[in-house]
Amino acid sequence: MAFTLPALGYAYDALEPHIDARTMEIHHTKHHQAYITNLNNAIAGSPLEGKTLDEIIKGMDMTNMPVRNNGGGHWNHTMFWELLRPEDKGRLSGPLKDAIDSAFGSKETFMEKFSAAAMTRFGSGWAWLCVLPGGKVEICSSPNQDNPLMPGVGCGGTPILGLDVWEHAYYLNYQNRRADYVAAFWNVLNWNVVEDKYNKAL
Ligand code: MN
């Protein structure tokens, strides 16, 4: 069964003015679709065909660049769209709030440190919040379409929050102003989804 593009679950203009409709449509239908098409082509006829995306990511042969780049691209974007559900942004609460307070002191300090990770990722990549065994959370970033679940990427743990800092995610609306895009991201992040992912990761 080949991988297919997941529906967003909301309209392309639902995140305006923070993320514009044109960026969302191109990002979803062109960029994400291309990762899926290329992943399907890369695994066709190989032992990876028939595995789940999580199985492919966790067991990644990091020298297999087509699967690494496009499998990561599919996993990372699938999570990203889920995080941006606009109908209810929720609020940070429960065990995730406790974990963030414990690791960073406050939600505000966490947001500053996460934003700094997104800003200092040189070139294309992602900023992440990951859950370690036991529930501790930590921030990291990765290049290209690498994912913390892949072997040796360095973050360890399970990602529950990811921010795409490729220029294709923001250039139409923000041009080179990545900081403005990162600041806008907090306006469309659904904390309930992050909390749900935290609880499932434990
Ligand atoms: Mn992207």
pLDDT at 154: 78
Beta bridge partners of 91: none
* Span from the CA of 166 to the centroid of ligand 1 (angstroms): 6
Q: Is the pLDDT of residue 88 over 80?
A: no
Label residue 115 by pLDDT band (50, 70, 90): very high
Q: Is the pLDDT of residue 10 over 90?
A: yes
pLDDT at 85: 77
CATH of domain 20-202: 3.55.40.20
Beta bridge partners of 140: 128
Q: Is 152 within 8 Å of 59 (Cβ atoms)?
A: no
pLDDT at 179: 97
pLDDT at 199: 96
Q: How far apart are CA 145 and CA 122, in angstroms?
A: 13
Q: What is the mean pLDDT of residues 74-86?
A: 94
Instruction: List the one residue out of 154, 145, 137, 3 whose CA is nearest residue 80.
Output: 145
Q: How far apart are CA 185 and CA 163, in angstroms?
A: 8
* Span from the CA of 105 to the centroid of ligand 1 (angstroms): 30
Give the mean pLDDT of the chain.
Answer: 96
**DSSP E strands: which ranges in 92-187?**
125-131, 137-143, 158-164
* Span from the CA of 31 to the centroid of ligand 1 (angstroms): 6
Q: What is the mean pLDDT of residues 158-178?
A: 97
Q: How far apart are CA 36 and CA 2, in angstroms?
A: 9
* Span from the CA of 107 to the centroid of ligand 1 (angstroms): 25
pLDDT at 190: 93
pLDDT at 47: 95
pTM of the model: 0.96
Residue in the block written with tokens 């209810």 = 88
Q: What is the mean pLDDT of residues 131-157?
A: 94
Q: What is the mean pLDDT of residues 121-145?
A: 96
Q: Is 130 within 8 Å of 156 (Cβ atoms)?
A: yes
* Span from the CA of 27 to the centroid of ligand 1 (angstroms): 6
pLDDT tens figures, 32-45:
999 999 999 999 99
pLDDT at 112: 98
Q: What is the mean pLDDT of residues 184-199?
A: 95
* Residue 66 CA, distance from chain mean position: 19
* Span from the CA of 147 to the centroid of ligand 1 (angstroms): 13
* Span from the CA of 103 to the centroid of ligand 1 (angstroms): 28
The type of residue at 139 is I
* Span from the CA of 164 to the centroid of ligand 1 (angstroms): 6
Q: Can you give the residue ranges of every domain in the chain?
A: 20-202
Beta bridge partners of 130: 138, 159
Q: Is 189 within 8 Å of 101 (Cβ atoms)?
A: no
Prior bond of 151 cis (ω within 30°): no
Q: Is the pLDDT of residue 135 over 90?
A: yes
